[in-house]
Structure 1
Amino acid sequence: MKKSSAVATPPFLSLFLLLLLPLLAQPSDDLIDKICKATPFCDLCEASLRPLTPSPSDPKSLASAMATVVLGNMTDTLGYIKSLIRLSHDPAAERALAQCAELYRPVVKFNIPQAIEAMRRGEFGFAAYVLGDAEKQTDSCQKGINNSGADDDSSLALTARNKAVRNLCDVAISVIKSLMNGR
């Protein structure tokens, strides 16, 4: 009888390797790292994309995921604006907040969902344009808040939210542009 030259692997070692391999091979983390380093807010990009499950594994899904993060934040900010309108007792602040709601509403309901769908079809230029427009709407909202003279805690919180949305739009546009440039 001929002896086999193969070495028998203990079963626990095979199981250990099967469990360890997925942790060692995380190409999406490398992709997230690579893409996020090319954005203006690397930490914000990574904080937005790393917690997603399943983790986006290609540039197209990263861009779509980032646009979805923008949509979530804008939706949350629109809800916050609506709550501020209900609580407002200052007519000038109420008008500014109503203007913000009117700026955010179409972006949340139509524009960004259209941008996400456009990315699925490979229309990245259109998606970047829409996200740039969303950023402009956020800036317009902020100008209205600044001009209203409101300087209470709620307007400061809205300013912080507008800034966060603006930065997320910058990141999303940057991710889309890297996708368009083949990086």
Structure 2
Amino acid sequence: MKKMVVVMMIMMVMVMVSEASMIEQTCKETPDFNLCVSLLDSDPRGSSADTSGLALILVDKIKGLATKTLKEINSLYKKRPELKQALDECSRRYKTILKADVPEAIEAISKGVPKFGEDGVIDAGVEAAVCEGEFKGKSPLTSLTKSMQKVSNVTRAIVRMLL
């Protein structure tokens, strides 16, 4: 009986090590290892996901960040009405991420056509950069737009592994 318990414990440890190593191995191939590990470890699906699953988790992170940024944009309309024009452009950009880029990436990765998934992920980073540029250096969204660019770059690297 003791041997069986010990064997079971060893097997559980081996599974946990292999799960962690999948995330770590995958993240080593991205431009930001620490961000990648942090994002994937924060999602319970990460521990059992294959590369496609890890990519989909990160696309969900892009979606969540875009949603958060849109909420911030909406609150800035009240606080900073002088930025209406730039905020309007950013709102359009982040809505594009949510309505076009994210669904395109999810569908493409899910259907095994990662090239189109890569396109959606790249575009999310581009949309964030264009939004940031609308403020001419005085953006109240810099932290969020830079985060979107970083998450997009990490996600792109993982999607490229599927090509």
TM-score normalised by L of structure 2: 0.90
Partner in structure 2 of residue 163 of structure 1: 146
Alignment of 1:89 onto 2:92: no
Number of residue pairs matched by the alignment: 161
CA displacement 1:131-155 (0-9 Å, x = unmatched): 11111111100000226xx46xxx1
Moved runs in structure 1, 4+ residues, more than 4 A? none
Q: 1:131 to 1:17 in 2, by over 3 A?
A: same
Deviates further, 18-27 or 161-170: 18-27
Structure-2 separation of matches of 1:100 and 1:44: 24
Equivalent in 34, 49, 52 of residue 43 of structure 1: 34
Alpha carbons of 1:122 and 1:86: their partners in 2 closer, same or farther (altered >3 Å)?
same
Provide the C-alpha distance between the structure 2 equivalents of 1:133 and 1:57, rounded to a whole number of angstroms: 24
Mapped to 1, the partners of 2:81 and 2:120 lie a distance apart of 34
- Please say if residues 73 and 91 of structure 2, whose CA atoms lie closer than 8 Å, have aligned partners that are also in contact: yes
Match of 1:124 among 104, 114, 130: 114
1:52 to partner: Cα distance = 1.3
Largest Rg, 1 or 2? 1
Counterpart CA distance in 2 for 1:118 and 1:130 is: 9
Q: Are residue 63 (structure 1) and residue 55 (structure 2) matched?
A: yes
Query: Does residue 113 of the first structure (1) align with residue 103 of the second (2)?
Result: yes
RMSD over aligned Cα atoms: 1.8
> For 1:124 and 1:32, how far apart are their aligned partners in 2?
19
Separation in 1 of the partners of 2:103 and 2:159? 15
Deviation at 1:115, TM superposition (A): 1.0
Residues 10-49 of structure 1, C-alpha deviations (whole Å, 9 max, x = no match): 3xx5345435532332322111111101101111000000
Q: Matches of 1:89 and 1:69 in 2, distance apart?
A: 29
Amino acid at match of 2:133: K
Identity %: 24
Cα deviation, residue 66, structure 1:
1.2
Relative to 1, partners in 2 of residues 1:19 and 1:177: Cα closer, same or farther, differing over 3 Å? same
Choose between structure 1 and 2: higher helix proportion: 2
Q: Is the 8 A contact 2:104 2:116 kept in 1?
A: no
- How far apart in 1 are the matches of 2:72 and 2:10? 43
Q: Alpha-carbon deviation of 1:83?
A: 1.1
Which residue of structure 2 lines up, in the alignment, with residue 174 of structure 1? 157
